[in-house]
Amino acid sequence: MFDVQHFLKEMGHRMYLQRKQLGLTQERVAELADISPQLLSNAENGIQVIGSDKLYRISQALEVSADYLLSGNYSEKDAQILQNKLQETTDQKREAIDKIADIIINLDTN
């Protein structure tokens, strides 16, 4: 049976973690998504269902796909967002990111 409360809490937690990773305040994300800070707070706390239009705008502000926020699974869109970020950085930083990615990937194999 589908547990709506659990789903909302998990989705809200993903929003919170992504917002923190980007170093953004709730107010800034709300501004970028053109929603109220209260709505974002309620969504992050898993106490309010949000419409698809608002979810999409939040995902854009958080630089992830709506799929990721909904399911926790990365999509092709997320890969494209990451690729765009990499193209906007210097060669030296890309090399460092590549080395870090290799280390992280190899953690599972040791």
Q: What is the pLDDT of residues 79-100, one digit of tens each?
A: 888 888 888 889 898 888 888 8
Same domain (yes/no): 17, 65: yes
First to last CA, the chain: 37
Dihedral, 78, 84, 89, 94 alpha carbons, nearest 10:
60
Cα R_g (the chain), whole angstroms: 16
Tokens encoding 16: 């919170």
Domain residue limits at 9: 1-73
- 96 and 82 within one domain: yes
Is the model's pLDDT at 110 over the cut of 60? no
**How many structural domains is the chain composed of?**
2
Is residue 69 domain-shared with residue 94, that is, in the same domain?
A: no
> 51 — phi, psi (to 5°)?
-70, 160
Tens-place pLDDT, residues 14-67: 999 999 999 999 999 999 999 999 999 999 999 999 999 999 999 999 999 999
The pLDDT confidence band at residue 109, using thresholds 50, 70 and 90, is low
Residue 108 reports pLDDT greater than 70: no
Residues 68 and 24 in one domain: yes
Residues 4 and 41 grouped into a single domain: yes
